[in-house]
Amino acid sequence: MTGKRTYRLTNLLALIGLSVAPVSAMTMTYDGTVPALFEQITVKFDNQNTNIYAGQLGVRFDSGLTALLFCADPFVALRLDAVSVNRLTGSQVNQGERLAWMFNSYVPAMTQGWQAAAFRLAAWDIVADNGDGLAIGRVQGAGTTNARILTAASALVAASQGKSAKNGVFFEPTAGSRYSQTLFEAPGSDVPEPSTYLLMGAGLLVLSQLRRRG
């Protein structure tokens, strides 16, 4: 009886997208009709200026469920067709646990496209350059990058230094990370610790202050 309960619980956790070891692939498709937060920005990828929409991506799974995810790799093109993906934990992805901490701390407080764009730019710097800052490395700010977004992204990179969380969920193509973008989310616990509420409030305050200055 205990074995049956454990089996059912594992399948329930997998269904709602929590961090459990993947047992089979699923299909994920980009869906532009899913409401998301994003903004067009100019950044440098390998010293080449690029105009790109940065922020959240709406996706639809073969089960019919939709989700808002963040891209973890700016150097791989997003495929618009259905892609077979595996679910990974943060420990299985470069800097994944750091991204999960940053997600938990700031994404719940986001309400504007520029905030989501700043988060995504910070995530790119962390994944591609291990968070060395947006003045150097493969991912850099350009001369025309929105100053408010660039400032917020730099603050997120600095704040996440040395931090980690275990609840990151990443979706990587079964054919490999270079086949299409690796996307991620970090579902929060049902009852966050009081310190988490304080951190989320502080994150919202920082982002709102940057908005007033911009």
51 with 68: CB under 8 angstroms? no
- CA-based torsion, 162, 168, 173, 174: positive or negative: positive
pLDDT (0 to 100) of residue 166: 92
Q: What confidence score (pLDDT) does residue 7 get?
A: 36
Q: Which two tokens stand for residue 169?
A: 């969920």
Give exposure, 59-76, as e/b (b: 16+ Cβ within 10 Å).
bbbeeeeebbbbbbbbeb
Residue-number span of the structural domain to which 117 is assigned: 23-213
Cβ-based neighbour number of residue 42 at 10 Å: 16
Tens of pLDDT along 171-197? 999 998 889 999 999 764 333 333 443
What does the pLDDT read at residue 74? 85
50 found inside a domain: yes
Q: How many structural domains compose the chain? A: 1
Q: Does residue 193 lie within any of the structural domains?
A: yes
Give pLDDT, residue 140. Answer: 97
Strand partners, 55: 38
In a domain, 4, yes or no: no
Residue 180 burial class via C-beta count within 10 angstroms: exposed 0-12, middle 13-18, buried 19 and up: buried
pLDDT (tens place) for every residue of the chain, 214 residues total: 444 443 333 333 333 333 334 445 899 999 999 999 999 999 999 999 999 999 999 999 999 999 999 999 889 989 999 999 999 999 999 999 999 999 999 999 999 999 999 999 999 999 999 999 999 999 999 999 999 999 999 999 999 999 999 999 999 999 988 899 999 997 643 333 334 434 444 455 555 555 555 5
- For residue 177, the model assigns a pLDDT of 84
7 occurs within a structural domain: no
Q: What are the tens digits of pLDDT across the range 64-75?
A: 999 999 999 889
84 found inside a domain: yes
pTM score > 0.85 for this model?
Answer: no
Q: How far is CA 133 from CA 95, 128, 161, in A?
A: 15, 11, 11
User: Is residue 3 assigned to a domain?
Assistant: no
In a domain, residue 173? The reply is yes
The answer to whether residue 5 is domain-embedded is no
pLDDT for residue 175: 92
